Every structure is written in structure tokens, then in C-alpha cells.
Structure 1
Amino acid sequence: MRVLLAVSVVALSLGCARGVRLDSAVAGMKPATGKVYSNEAGEQVTIIPLEPHDSKKALLEFNGTKSELDGKVVIASVDRDRGTGYWTKWRGRTQRFVTVHDRGGFEDLILSPAGASGYTHLKPDTGRTAALKVEKVFARYEEAEEDGDLKPFLAFDRKFWTDQAEKELGEKLAEANKACGSKMASTIAWDTIPDPILDKLSIPSYCAGPLESLQQLCSRSEEAKRTVQQKVQTVECRVDAKAAVTLEAQKVIWSVTDGDLIQAEATTTYFTDNL
């Protein structure tokens, strides 16, 4: 009877404890010594490595970033290619929101939060690090996981990523129009870009090529500016069977493929010869 009672008590205590779910992303792990990074803008990132270290996992906590990551604790995979990168699955894509570089003994954390086209720098915050309670952050992640708070951010979100691409490309367009004194428009032919390609490629980077070349041309001469103003009204980016750049009735059609695009020098040469 005593044995049965003891087993029941142990089973009850295990069942009530957080972090014992077999499907938990932190099952079998525990927090190691963490560190807090911050900057004068009030952005804060807390990094807590998880043991065992060969799991190559860490928890990241975000505060003051003015993004949808604020107040959240997420799990990240760690790699050490060109700095220490922390990769997080977010809205169906694996993103590197945080990278830490050791620049000769000075740590530089580069933060590019969800929905941001730029990045900011943070440095170690000794005061906040000294006050850090890693167990509390670990418990917050377990609670969010169990309560389903992070679930809405795990599935692939096409609208989020298309909106993000439009925003980033719009910034490149503004730079090109400023350099050329023009009023060009840019479009992305989303009907040519299925989810697997959107998930795989950085569409803003791929689609920026012709805008960057036009911007460079306009910076060379007033004649180039006038030519672009007269002959280019729209730049369309699309995914096609073959990488190409063509000009049709004041419309630049920029085609990229899965992993290929016309390189910058060839793009500039095309505009020089055809505008």
C-alpha cells in the first residue's frame, strides 16, 4: 500500500510539472548561464544557451524591439558560421533574427526582428545580465508552449511574407527614384511565385537587381537620369523558367529563377545598350 501511494505521488507530481511533455521543444534540456544585450534605443535581447550544449539550442527573449517578437521567448538553433547565428522558425520560415560577433573581445549583437527590413546593434548589458533569472525565462517559454501562445506564429503565413517583400522592395524603389528623379513603380508578379519558392528565396533581394542598376546608372550622369525618366515607368519582378531582363513599352520585366538571376554587371550593360 505504501509503495502504491508513493508511486501515485510521484506520478502526480510529474504530471503537474511544466516541461515534462514528450513533444516539448525543450524536453530533456535545462538553461545555462545567459546574457542580456541592449542599446540606447531600449531594445533588449536575452540569450540563454540550453544544456546539453551539443543540442545547439538556445532561448531568446525580446523586449523593446517594436516588433511582434516583443515580450516573447522563442527557441533557436545555433550555428557558428560567420558569427554565432540564432535561427528561429517564424511564420513558417526559418529566420536569423539574432547574430553575435566577437570583434576582438568586443561582442556585437545584430538584431533584425520580424517585419523589419533593417537591423540594429546591441552590446552586452552587465547590469541586466547580473539580475537575470534564467529559470524564469525557461519557465516562460514552457508556459507559452503549453498555452499555445506561439502557435499562431509557426504556420506559413504567405500574406505576412508578401507584405514584407513589398515593403522592402518599396524602400529600394524609393532610393532608385530619388537617384533618378523619376516616378517609377515596381510590382511583383505574385501569381508566378508559389509558396515553396517564397519560402526558399529572399524575394526582395532577388527583385532589387534592376532597381539597383538603374540607381547606379543615374548616379553617373544627368543624361542617364533623363533617359530613365523618359523610358522606364514600371519594373516588374517575376519567377520564370529562365533568368532574364527585358524592356517592353517602358516596362522592365525582371525574371528570376530558383537560385539564379542576371548579375549586376550584365544588368547594367543591358540598360546601357537598350535604354
Structure 2
Amino acid sequence: MMKELKNKRQDLRKEADEHKEKRNELNTLASSLATKRNDLNKQTKELINEAQEFKKLRDENNGKVQEYKEKRDETNARANEVFAKVDELRSASNLTGPSLKEIRRDIDRLEFAQQTEVMTPSKEKEIVKKISELQSQYAEKKKQLEGNVELKELLEEAQAIREEASTFHTTLSEFAQKAQEYHDKMIATFKEADKVRADSDAAHKEFVEIQEKADEEHKSFIAIQKELRDIEKEVRKIKKQDTGVKREADMEEVRKDAEDIFDKFKSGEKLTTENLMTLQKSGLL
């Protein structure tokens, strides 16, 4: 029985060490995954903050776009009013052909398309040629009207207002370009944040799985430790019983020796000190 218990105890200790070692390995891996997850979460937060900053800058530039769009439109409206007066005088002066306002409008439309649209080289060349033709037509028409002082003054006023509107439009375009750049950066940064967040979620999922395995190994280790304590109790119990049996056997032998000595004593033999101690130990003296 004792041998079986000792063998089982040895096997359990070995198994407990295996569970403990595996638990520690899994806890180390879980800790590494937790660190990775936390670093990725921090990176995600930084990317989101960066994207929010790009969004703020985009919105600020879009606000400027709206501001200068209103200024441009208001200025163009003023220019249109002056060009309307020019058309009235032009009609009264019997000047034929498209008005300066119409020519200028076509030039502005083509220039805007050239600045904002993606074109093939041949298409852009065609538009540049058309703009040049309209500018020549505009200059010729303006020359026709310069003989009329009132018309000349109105044309100069209209042209000055139109140039002011063009300046507003240029500024508007610059803010619009910046707004688009910040928008693109915002989208790219949000996408990067989503990618890093996905990596963080994957690391967290793996962390949970590893931690659960580590917990199972720990539970097994604890269960074996409990079983080992039970075995230790049983071993001590058996040892105690064996000690009691041995002590009883020793006492029996002492009593037998004492009885022999006592018989000799009754026969008149002289007892030694050792004989007396044996009698005393046996309780016969």
C-alpha cells in the first residue's frame, strides 16, 4: 500500500510540474499578446486623433471655400449688373455680335474647366485654342466699344470687378485643393486605424484563448496539488500506524524478558541494574 502511494505521489508530482510549466509558458505568451494588443490600441487611438485633426483642417478649408465662393458670386453679380448696362448701351449703339459679358462668360467657363477637369492633351489643346480665340474676340469687341466714353468707363469698371471675382475664385480653388488633400489624408488615416484596430482585435481574441488555456492548466495543477496533499495525509497515517505496531511488538518482547527476569528473581538469583531497568520498563516493578 505504501509503495503504491509513493509511486502515485511521484507520478502526480511529475504531472503537476508539467501543468505548472505549461501554465507559465501560456501566461508568458498571454502577457506578450496583451502588450501587443495594448500597443495596437494606442496606435489606433493616435491614428484616430490624427484623422480627426485632418477632418478639422478639411472643414476649416471648406469653410474658406464657402466664404470665397460667396465673395466671388457677389462680385460676379456686381459685374453682371455693369455688363447689363454695357449691353444696353451696346444695343443703342447698334453694335452687333455677342456681348462682352457673353464672351467673358465663355472664357471663364473654359478656364474653369481647364483648371478643374482631367483632360487628354488633345482636349486641353483644343480648349486653350478656343480660349485664345475668345480672348481675341473679346479684345476686338472691347476695341469697338472704346470709342464710346461711357461704354469704355463701364467696361473698365466691369473688367475690374471681374478681375476681383477671378481673384476670389483663385483663392477659392486653393482652399478647395487643400480641403481635398486633407480629406484624402483623413480617409487614408481612418482606413489605417481600421486596419490596426482589426489587428488589435485579433491579438485580443488570441490573448483570451491563450489565457483560458493557462487557466485550465492552473486548475489542473491545483487539483493535483490537492490530490498530493490527500496522499501525504494517507502516507503519514500509514507511517503512524506502522510505528504503533512496531512499538507494541517491542513492548511485548520487553514484557517477555521481564517475566523471565522476574522468575529468576523469585528463584533467588541476583538482578543486575539492566535487569531492574527491564522490569521497570515492563511495568512489573
TM-score of the superposed pair, with normalisation by structure 2? 0.19
Instruction: Tell which has more relative contact order, 1 or 2 (C-alpha 8 A, sep 6+).
Output: 2
Pick the structure with more strand per residue: 1
Pick the structure with more helix per residue: 2
Larger radius of gyration: 2
